[in-house]
């Protein structure tokens, strides 16, 4: 696909999104003015450049419902700690924007309401059907309680630098498997200045949760009854060994390579046009391929495709994102639910679609947004079908992932054995944090 075609497609998307934002909002019947004013508090992490789009819509909600919404901004990295400390001291919001990186642990502690209890069953089910199934699954407990509604999705695709492919005479990647991905990564790496050090790299996994390769090999991260990790199983071991080979023989640039070439980390190498491929979410073009976020100014011609399938043809991708929850203990839960269902609604999502840092969770909005970009849009819609959340009910992000990443990372860098790394992980994660 040419850069001109991609630019035209992206421009069409942005124009459409702006037009949606200009359409006057008509409040659904559920949001008509109530008899008495109520006040609720919403904690979020949207910076000013995003909140400027949200603010007038919230004002419309207040005017339509008589509910006063007090908002408080906290940085994404502070939100989890702020809520934990606040709940311990009895100071917490009615509504909170939650991250898939930490919300499951709090849901295990019953920090959020089961939203199905706050709405009529038929109405709640109709609302649920507007979202991608995996987006709903992301915010469900292991026993099926819906503790948040999805706002966006973060699912990885494989972006590639079309200029590097053209210069090397290599066809752009289409359908890849592990073997062809490995070969392509090695083929694109080059020493340009003759100092016997690579100046161009085939792949960066800077934004990629590579442990999901276990899924593409048919393995699992946690065993079926959630009583322990499954990283010692053969399918998981094979995936880890594959990534070790890819990382070291590819090779994939690390922080030392980035510093040698004048950037702080491998994300800088990608933006400078020194890397052929990079797995990342739908946010990649705006935040790592433009000049100062200008959607009409791409630093190089790019394309996108699916991440490679495993040896048996399985495709898998991680599903992450943000959602909106009602905090358990709120004294204004009905009013809080009205805000949550409003912000997650199709009307609201459509009006802020151009500002979301990711993938709209509402099916119709995603389809209308991405299908304008042709083949790339089709890929974006297809990846949702095989995306899956990380393990639930086991404190994956809080306890397991940091240890898994550290110990397996040491092995991949050449320190110790795989068996030793797995034993270290198992020892450090006891007692097992499951339910």
Q: Quick check: 307 pLDDT over 50?
A: yes
State how many domains the chain has.
Answer: 2
- Rounded to the nearest angstrom, the gap between the alpha carbon of residue 110 and the centroid of all alpha carbons in its chain is 24
Q: Are residues 162 and 147 in the same domain?
A: no
Q: Are residues 260 and 343 in the same domain?
A: no
The confidence score (pLDDT) of residue 432 equals 79
Q: Which of 132, 269, 211 is nearest to 401 (CA)?
A: 211
- The pair of structure tokens assigned to 90 is 């009895």
Instruction: Give the 3-state secondary structure of residue 79.
Output: helix
In a domain, 428, yes or no: no
Q: Are residues 140 and 184 in the same domain?
A: no
In a domain, 2, yes or no: no
In a domain, 413, yes or no: no
Q: What range does the domain containing 258 cover? A: 157-317
Q: Of the candidates 317, 336, 369, which is a domain's last residue?
A: 317
Max mean pLDDT among 7-16, 260-269, 288-297, 375-384 falls in: 260-269
Q: Do residues 222 and 426 make contact, with C-beta atoms less than 8 angstroms apart?
A: no
Q: Of the candidates 317, 332, 359, which is a domain's last residue?
A: 317
Q: Quick check: 361 pLDDT over 50?
A: yes
Q: Are residues 324 and 215 in the same domain?
A: no
CA–CA dist 159, 288 (Å, integer): 11
Q: What is the pTM of this model?
A: 0.87
CA–CA dist 305, 284 (Å, integer): 13
Q: Are residues 225 and 367 in the same domain?
A: no
Q: Quick check: 218 pLDDT over 60?
A: yes
The confidence score (pLDDT) of residue 345 equals 97
Q: Of the candidates 347, 366, 388, which is a domain's last residue?
A: 388
The confidence score (pLDDT) of residue 2 equals 38
In a domain, 396, yes or no: no
CATH number, domain of 313, equals 3.40.190.10
In a domain, 403, yes or no: no
Backbone phi, then psi, for 68, in 5-degree steps?
-85, 125
For residue 341, CA distances in Å to 115, 215, 320, 344, 350 come to 10, 33, 20, 5, 14
The confidence score (pLDDT) of residue 50 equals 86
């Amino acid at each position: 696909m040419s850069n001109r075609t991609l630019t035209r497609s992206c421009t069409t998307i942005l124009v459409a999104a702006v037009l949606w934002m200009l359409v006057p909002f008509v409040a659904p019947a559920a949001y008509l003015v109530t008899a008495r004013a109520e006040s609720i508090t919403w904690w979020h992490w949207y910076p000013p450049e995003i909140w400027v789009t949200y603010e007038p819509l919230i004002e419309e909600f207040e005017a339509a419902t008589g509910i006063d919404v007090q908002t408080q901004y906290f940085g994404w990295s502070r939100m989890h700690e702020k809520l934990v400390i606040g709940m311990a001291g009895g100071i917490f919001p009615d509504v909170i924007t939650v991250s898939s990186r930490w919300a499951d642990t709090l849901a295990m502690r019953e920090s959020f309401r089961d939203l199905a209890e706050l709405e009529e069953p038929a109405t709640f089910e109709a609302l649920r059907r507007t979202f991608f199934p995996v987006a709903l699954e992301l915010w469900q407990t292991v026993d099926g309680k819906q503790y948040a509604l999805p706002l966006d999705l973060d699912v990885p695709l494989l972006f590639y630098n079309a200029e590097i492919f053209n210069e090397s005479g290599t066809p752009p990647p289409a359908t890849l498997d592990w073997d062809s991905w490995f070969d392509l990564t090695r083929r694109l790496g080059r020493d340009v200045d003759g100092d016997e050090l690579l100046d161009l790299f085939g792949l960066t996994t800077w934004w990629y949760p590579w442990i999901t390769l276990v899924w593409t090999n048919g393995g699992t991260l946690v065993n079926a009854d959630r009583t322990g990790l499954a990283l010692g199983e053969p399918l998981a071991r094979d995936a880890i060994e594959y990534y070790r080979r890819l990382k070291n023989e590819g090779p994939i640039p690390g922080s030392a390579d980035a510093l040698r070439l004048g950037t702080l980390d491998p994300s800088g190498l990608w933006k400078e046009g020194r890397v052929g491929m990079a797995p990342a979410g739908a946010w990649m073009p705006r935040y790592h391929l433009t000049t100062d976020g200008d959607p009409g100014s791409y630093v190089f011609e790019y394309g996108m495709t699916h991440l490679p399938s495993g040896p048996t043809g399985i495709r898998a991708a991680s599903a992450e994102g943000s959602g909106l929850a009602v905090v358990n203990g709120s004294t204004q839960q009905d009013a809080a639910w009205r805000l949550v269902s409003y912000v997650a609604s199709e009307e609201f999502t459509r009006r802020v679609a151009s500002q979301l840092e990711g993938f709209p969770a509402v099916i119709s909005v995603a389809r209308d947004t991405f299908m304008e970009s042709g083949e790339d849009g089709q890929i974006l819609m297809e990846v949702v079908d095989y995306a899956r959340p990380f393990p639930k009910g086991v404190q994956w992000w809080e306890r397991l992932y940091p240890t898994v990443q550290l110990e397996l990372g040491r092995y991949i860098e050449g320190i110790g054995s795989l068996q030793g790394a797995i034993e270290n992980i198992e020892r450090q994660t006891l007692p097992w944090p499951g339910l």
